[in-house]
Amino acid sequence: MRIAITGDFHLGFNQDALAQARNALDACKDAVAIVIAGDVFDSRIPRQETLNEALQLFSQAAESLSSNAVVFELDADGVITGLSNYPPILAVAGTHERRSKGLANPIHLLDSALAAVNLHARKICVQKDGEKVVFQAMAGVPEEFSRQVLKKMEFKPVKGAFNVFVFHQSLAEAMPFGESLAAQDLPDGFDLYVDGHIHWMMELIEGKKRIVIPGSTVVTQMRKNETRKKQVIIFDTQAGTYETREFSTRSFLYRDIVFENPATSAEVAAQVDSALTEMLAAGNQSQVPIVKLKLSGRLANGLESKDLDLTAIAKRYADKAMLHIDRDFERKDPLQADAEELQKARSDPRGVREISVELFIEALKRRDIELSHSQAEELLDALCEEDAARAAQLI
């Protein structure tokens, strides 16, 4: 059975997200089933326009999928429930869609609208010509709880089927920094593991575990790794092999510029200018590319990074590139360090949500209020939604 693997559409992030998700799904047309490994949406409460576009996108994808597979659910006692009104499109919530317990996330909405099957904590079987592929999944959780939640959920493969485990977390083997799961923490015995969250394509083989990461369909973090081509994975469960298919995206160009010797404002501007000219000369782009320059190293005495004036350059390239210039010079001024940290937080893969929850917990602690992570999260949600009654109850 050919299953298409994709994820991290981040619908609502920008204007590219929808178009590129559509291109990715187009590349999956001849698969029997499509699995989407989380972060379908960029936020846990997408705008209605985004939801509307997403529903249209999914219904078009379901229509063009030339699959005649049967989809059903297995419960713990082996009872089968048919899901005949659903397309063989399976999705799980990522970290960007996570809401506190009891609240509906956008993947719940997709499932209720029969646009996709929510995989979280279920055993969903796709069957075609006698072959069964069973998908199980854990939705994205804060990294520090991932091990605990995985253990508690006790995932086990189903006999007589090809078993796929889908999750949405950092993985130590792919991103060796910060707190994260490692391959050994994943439940044993699955034939294939699919991980979202990481925005560039990878395959990892760790012991008996084969992990594929489809990568995102849109550039959100502007990391160097995101310059890689965006692709979907078409996995053949019988052959145990896969092919990757590129789809059209806005290109993303990245360059590090390091100033080894103390540089003046004019020198920085000149180097930025020549780098941009060179980078943009290479392509004949149908769409204006995203270009990120990361400037680091040393500035001339007395020159602070905030005093560097690059507005003339930004103006000159305004219609040739979506330009982002990161200033990561050796620091002198602590206030400026804060501003730079803030700028970095924007490309933090945890997303604004997790960062907010952590800041909120710290703020509560300073006021001697000790709440668990999930309680703090519920309280934050109640406050954001101006539900004073619920907030009062939680304190």
φ/ψ bin of 160: left (φ > 0), alpha (ψ from -120 to 50), beta (otherwise)? left
| Distance between first and last Cα of the chain | 51
Listing from the earlier edge strand, what are the strands of the sheet with 2-6?
Answer: 117-118, 89-91, 33-36, 2-6, 231-236, 241-246
Angstrom distance (rounded) from CA 43 to CA 137: 20
Partner residues linked to 136 by β-bridges: 165
**Contacts of 191 by beta carbon, 8 Å cutoff, 6+ apart:** 157, 162, 163, 164, 210, 237
Dihedral of the CA atoms 172, 141, 233, 174 (nearest 10)? -10
**Residue 8 vs 53, nearer CB to Mn ion:** 8
**Residue 170 vs 305, nearer CB to Mn ion:** 170
- Provide, rounded to whole angstroms, the least separation between the CB of residue 312 and Mn ion: 35
**Residue 88 vs 140, nearer CB to Mn ion:** 140
**Residue 41 vs 135, nearer CB to Mn ion:** 41
- Provide, rounded to whole angstroms, the least separation between the CB of residue 356 and Mn ion: 16
Binding site for Mn ion (CB under 5 A): 8, 39
- Provide, rounded to whole angstroms, the least separation between the CB of residue 10 and Mn ion: 6
Q: Which amino acid is at 283?
A: G
Angstrom distance (rounded) from CA 150 to CA 286: 44
- Provide, rounded to whole angstroms, the least separation between the CB of residue 94 and Mn ion: 6
- Provide, rounded to whole angstroms, the least separation between the CB of residue 123 and Mn ion: 25
**Residue 39 vs 143, nearer CB to Mn ion:** 39
3-state secondary structure of 187: coil
- Provide, rounded to whole angstroms, the least separation between the CB of residue 197 and Mn ion: 5
Residue closest to Mn ion, measured at CB = 39
**Residue 8 vs 143, nearer CB to Mn ion:** 8
